Amino acid sequence: MSTINTNFIVSPRWILPVIPRNSLLENHSLVVIENKIAHILPTADIPEKYPELTHLELPNQLLLPGLVNTHGHAAMALLRGYADDFELKTWLAEHIWPVENRLVDFDFVYDGTTLAIAEMVCSGTTTVADSYFFPNASAKAYIDHGFRAQVGLPIIHFPNAWANTEEEHINKGLGVRDTLKNQKLITPALAPHAPYSVTNAGFEQVRMYAEQLEMPIHLHLHETAAEVSDAIAETSKRPIQRMKELGILSPSLQAVHMTQITPQEMGELSQRQTHIAHCPASNLKLASGFCPVSDLMSHHVNVALGTDGAASNNNLDMIEEMKIAALMAKGMTGDASSLPVHQVIEMATINGAKFLGLEDKIGSLEPGKCADMISVDLSALKFQPMHNPASDLLYAASGDQVCHVWIDGEHQLSNRTLTNMDTARMRANARQWQAKILS
Ligand SMILES: [Zn+2]
């Protein structure tokens, strides 16, 4: 890993710190000392206070916290465009699971995750919650490239290349967790796949280890109406009721998707302080349904944002995801004031940090927090005349305008060039995997 000077000053035109809410600073600078944000002060005061520090001036750029993607399957970057235009059940059972069973191994996950890291860095994401087979491989990719991640330890009832039984999944997962104890950028989480793919005995183990080891539980939940109706036919219970009875519905739970929620369930999610990952692009593409984000927020439920894997999105661009979330909320409620600009940016930053239990470290630009931050170039004609940089970020920009990225103070993207990754090698690896996938 490259270690560029970890003491430096960035002077953008604007800073969007996220906290205080809906604030924007103009002609201010941010000082990083030993990888942490030390001060934010007027740029005019910089020369006399810090004459010795490296100083990066970014005219026409907006500096904001690194984006937090709260749901993804990074290695599935290798399956981007492989199976489009199917609903979830058909997509998984007839297309995704067969190719995964045939090909997924340590190298697939390492190479796929590396490709996803490059895409995430280039589009402004600095933290991801990932869950996939071979979490030892994805963790290695995140560590090798200095990327912050919650690594989900997968648990699924069906045999696969990683493990054959739920018990084997848990044992192997806990083994991986032990190897990650001293990794400052990695947080392990238990990742039971979904209510329909994990047994009650599996969930009981998950609850026990989540409590004992203080680990979050990352779970696809109420992704589609069919998931709920199938569960009612089989068990006479909605999956969320089953999760409640199994002790899974708690502040440790990171519930992903949640497109089907009754008013009573809304109250329970709020009371139990369960976090939600909203993945609007994936939900739209698989025709899964609509997460009622505005209602959840009015019940004080923490809702964060995720892209899901690149096989169902088909990119990992969180700026695009923010725009889809904003538009979807307005369309669903018939109220154009639903999810205003600052609230959507919070979903992709501080709400994501809370979702991961990392709000003391990331999610806003405040002294004492880690220097996880990005700058977005707003000099193009499409942003003129610049009435509101936060609005331009959300509604007019895309990940392609991200210019600089720092993760834990390390400069990972400099003027749109990856500082720490071999792009030629990534392309060659992707071509090799394409040949294997199609063979
Ligand atoms: Zn998913």
Check residue 369 and give its pLDDT. Answer: 98
Predicted confidence at residue 5, as pLDDT, reads 56
Distance 279 CA to ligand 1 centre (A): 9
**21, 124, 293, 336 from 344: Cα distances, Å:** 12, 15, 10, 13
Q: How far is the CA of 323 from the centre of ligand 1 (A)?
A: 20
For residues 120 and 69, give the distance between their C-alpha atoms in angstroms, rounded to a whole number.
9
b/e burial code for range 71-109 (CB count within 10 A of at least 16 → b): bbbbbbbbbbebbeebebeebbeebbeebbeebbeeebb
pLDDT tens digits, one per residue of 229-257? 999 999 999 999 999 999 999 999 999 99
DSSP 369: S
Going by their DSSP bridges, the two strands 373-377 and 402-407 should be labelled as antiparallel
What pLDDT is stored for residue 47 in this prediction? Answer: 78
Distance in angstroms (rounded) separating the CA atoms of residues 109 and 73 = 10
Determine phi and psi for 261, rounding to 5 degrees: -140, 130
Put simply, whether the predicted model's pTM sits higher than 0.85 gets the answer yes
Question: What are the phi and psi torsion angles at 418 (to 5°)?
Answer: -70, 125
| Residue 324 pLDDT greater than 70, yes or no | yes
Q: Separation of 194 CA from ligand 1 center, angstroms? A: 9
pLDDT above 50: residue 3: no
Q: Quote the ligand 1 centre to 131 CA distance (angstroms).
A: 8
Cis peptide before 12 (omega within 30 of 0): no
pLDDT at 2: 43
Ligand 1 centroid from CA 309, angstroms = 6
CA–centroid distance, 308 to ligand 1, in Å, is 5
| CA separation for the pair 304, 293 (Å, rounded) | 9
Using the mean position of ligand 1's atoms as its centre, give its distance from the Cα of residue 44 in Å: 46
- Which residues pair with residue 240 across a beta bridge? none
**Does pLDDT of 390 surpass 70?**
yes
Interval between CA 211 and ligand 1 midpoint (Å):
24
Q: What is the DSSP letter of 80?
A: T
Question: Are 301 and 270 spatial neighbours (Cβ–Cβ below 8 Å)?
Answer: yes
Q: CA-CA distance, 32 to 8, in Å (whole number)?
A: 5
- What six digits make up the tokens of 170? 């848990």
Taking the CA atoms of 120, 23, 355 and 320 in sequence, report the sign of the dihedral they define: negative
Compute the mean pLDDT over every residue in the chain, rounded to the nearest whole number: 96
Distance from residue 314's CA to the centre of ligand 1 (Å): 13
Q: Residue 241 C-alpha to ligand 1 middle, in angstroms?
A: 21
CA of 274 to the centre of ligand 1 (A): 17
Helices 135-144 and 166-179 pack at an angle, to 10 degrees, of: 20
Tokens of 156: 């699924």
CA 51 to chain centre: 37
Ligand 1 centre distance from Cα of residue 311 (Å): 10
Amino acid code (one letter) for 31 = V
Distance 423 CA to ligand 1 centre (A): 26
| Domains in the chain with CATH codes | 8-65+371-418 (2.30.40.10), 67-355 (3.20.20.140)
What pLDDT does residue 15 have?
Answer: 98
CA–CA distance, 193 with 215 (Å, rounded to integer) = 16
128 CA to centre of ligand 1 in angstroms: 12
Confidence of residue 310 (pLDDT cuts 50, 70, 90): very high
Q: Give me ligand 1 centre to Cα 182, in Å.
A: 27
Around 336, how many Cα atoms within 13 Å sit in the side-chain half-sphere? 0
User: What pLDDT score does 439 carry?
Assistant: 87
Ligand 1 centre distance from Cα of residue 41 (Å) = 41
Residue 1: is its pLDDT beyond 80? no
User: Is 74's pLDDT higher than 60?
Assistant: yes
Of 324, 277, 323, 283, nearest in space to 301 by CA: 277
C-alpha dist (Å) from residue 299 to 21, 279, 302, 307, 319: 19, 19, 9, 23, 25
Give the chain's end-to-end CA distance (angstroms, integer): 35
Rounded distance from Cα 382 to ligand 1 centre (Å): 33
Contact 104, 133 (CB under 8 A): yes
* Backbone angles phi and psi of 305, in degrees to 5: -125, 145
Secondary structure letter of residue 35 according to DSSP:
T
Average pLDDT over residues 259-274: 97
Q: Please enumerate in sequence order all residues whose Cβ is within 8 A of that of 278, keeping only pairs 6 or more positions apart, or say none.
A: 257, 258, 291, 293, 303, 304, 305, 306, 325, 347
Q: In this predicted model, what pLDDT tens digit does every residue of 194-215 receive, in sequence order?
A: 999 999 999 999 999 999 999 9
What share of the chain has pLDDT > 90, as a percent? 97
pLDDT, tens digit, 9 for 90 and up, residues 130-149: 999 999 999 999 999 999 99
Q: Are strands 54-65 and 8-15 parallel, antiparallel or unpaired?
A: parallel
Ligand 1 centroid, distance to 312 Cα (angstroms): 9
Residues near 406 by Cβ (< 8 Å), separated by ≥ 6? Answer: 32, 66, 126, 371, 372, 373, 374, 412
Q: Cα(425) to centroid of ligand 1, in Å?
A: 27
pLDDT over threshold 90, residue 418: yes
Contacts of 320 (CB under 8 A, 6+ apart): 281, 398, 399
